[in-house]
């Protein structure tokens, strides 16, 4: 069978070589993005543990032709396409020599061991930088290479808690709530990708590599955005508002007769049109609600009026009425509706791949290029699937 890489064009990063020593989600998210953009990615996995930790984070798993679970969990597959997997035990001298041989050919090395964790194997940045001066070496850790907490491990939930994001999320009367997916890991992976591309640009101009020190907690603090900046400038702690916006009203999730609808009313003219639809025309002239600052001040009172009014309509009726009035509205969809939608099909946000004999379904990459399209060349690999072909090869990346 012809490999997909023989028939598909490669992307903007064609020719870039990535040595991936990362696991779980932040690092693999980054290297999957690089792979989608055309880079050649060799993923190194620990044969003693069965590979990347997320291979065990199931069910669900992709099933083989006989209906048995593989080592391709949904969690693992979400961040590991467009890679080749080799099994290398870096605790051995042979394994360390193999990593150095791969590093000699690589443009980029990415790892997410605890700070100092690779030094005992001679694979940390300090040990490699003089031998491989062009190498872009990206280190992801929970709290960074420096600082009082650098020795602590970091997981997505811990980062969301430490960063303050959880203090902003959830019902005002309930517990702090994390985002429903590992968004701290994903955002950290995206920052890593941006940092690597910038360092790669510098490398191409000067021939000089460097280390990128990226902390899961730092990247999560960075996307406090307006709430973080507001606190820094006022000293006032924000409160949880559930689905409501701190600066816009109405802006949130409202119950309808059959479901829930999102309303995002961006200005006073839009508010007037919403009130006309609800049969509440007079509220647009009420001084408590006529302006956005006034609506924020009287948020609870306005909700007491709007909530029962919206329950008289179905979700589809509200969305149609808002579209006709040029007010932003949308559904709160379950995943079955998301992936059955024409929008997902039109934008290629769900894809089918073949992992050996196992068909797998994956999320698409959201980037669309006019000249160097994203490609899906390799399905997520089983642990060590490519060891025989790559390890020991004279030019290992040409075999990846």
**Catalytic residue IDs:** 185
SS (H, E, C) the chain: CCCHHHCCCCCCCCCCEEEEECCCCHHHHHHHHHHHCCCEEEEEECCCCCCCHHHHCCCCEEECCCCCEEEEEHHHHCCCCCCEEEECCCCCHHHHHHHHHHHHHCCEEEECCCCCCCHHHCCCHHHHCCCCCCCEEEEEECCCCCCCCCCCCCCHHHHHHHHCHHHHCCCCCCCCCCCCCCHHHHHHHHHHHHHHHHHHHHHHHHCCCEEEEEEHHHHHHHCCHHHHHHHHHHCCCCCCCCCCCCCCCCEEEEECCCCEEEEECCCHHHHHHHHHHCCCHHHHHCCCCCCHHHHHHCHHHHHHHHHHHHCCCCHHHHHHHHHHCCCEEEECCCHHHHHCCHHHHHHCCEEEEEECCEEEEEECCCCCCCCCCCCCCCCCCCCCCCHHHHCCCCCHHHHC
Phi and psi based region of residue 122 (left: phi greater than 0; alpha: psi -120 to 50; beta: remaining): left
């Amino acid at each position: 069978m012809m490999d997909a890489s023989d028939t598909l064009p490669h992307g903007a990063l064609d020719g870039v070589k990535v040595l991936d020593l990362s696991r779980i989600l932040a690092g693999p998210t980054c290297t999957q993005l690089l792979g989608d953009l055309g880079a050649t990615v060799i993923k190194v996995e620990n044969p003693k543990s069965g590979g990347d930790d997320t291979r065990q984070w199931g069910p669900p798993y992709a099933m083989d032709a006989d209906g048995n679970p593989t080592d391709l969990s949904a969690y693992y597959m979400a961040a590991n396409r467009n890679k080749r997997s080799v099994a290398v035990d870096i605790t051995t001298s042979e394994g360390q020599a193999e990593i150095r041989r791969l590093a000699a050919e690589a443009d980029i090395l990415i790892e997410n061991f605890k700070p100092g964790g690779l030094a005992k194997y001679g694979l940390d940045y300090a040990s490699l930088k003089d031998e491989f001066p062009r190498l872009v070496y990206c280190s992801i850790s929970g709290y960074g290479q420096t600082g009082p907490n650098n020795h602590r491990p970091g997981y997505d939930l811990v980062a969301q808690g430490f960063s303050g994001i959880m203090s902003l999320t959830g019902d005002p009367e309930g517990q702090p709530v994390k985002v429903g997916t590992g968004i701290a890991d994903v955002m950290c992976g995206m920052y890593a990708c941006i940092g690597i591309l910038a360092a790669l640009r510098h490398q191409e101009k000067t021939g000089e590599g460097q280390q990128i020190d990226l902390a899961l907690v730092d990247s999560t603090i960075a996307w406090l955005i307006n709430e973080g900046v507001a606190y820094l400038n006022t000293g006032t702690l924000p409160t949880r508002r559930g689905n409501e916006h701190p600066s816009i009203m109405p802006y949130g999730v409202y119950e309808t007769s059959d479901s829930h609808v999102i309303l995002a009313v961006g200005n006073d003219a839009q508010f007037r049109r919403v009130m006309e639809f609800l049969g509440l025309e007079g509220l647009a002239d009420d001084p408590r609600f006529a302006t956005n600052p006034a609506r924020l001040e009287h948020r609870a009172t306005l909700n007491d009026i709007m909530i029962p009014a919206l329950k008289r309509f179905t979700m589809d009726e509200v969305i149609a009425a808002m579209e006709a009035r040029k007010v932003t509205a949308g559904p709160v969809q379950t995943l079955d509706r998301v992936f059955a939608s024409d929008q997902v099909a039109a934008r290629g946000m769900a894809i089918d791949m073949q992992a050996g004999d196992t068909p797998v379904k994956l999320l698409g990459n959201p980037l669309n290029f006019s000249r160097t399209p994203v490609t899906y060349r390799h399905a997520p690999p089983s642990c060590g699937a490519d060891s025989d072909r790559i390890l020991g090869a004279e030019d290992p990346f040409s075999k990846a």
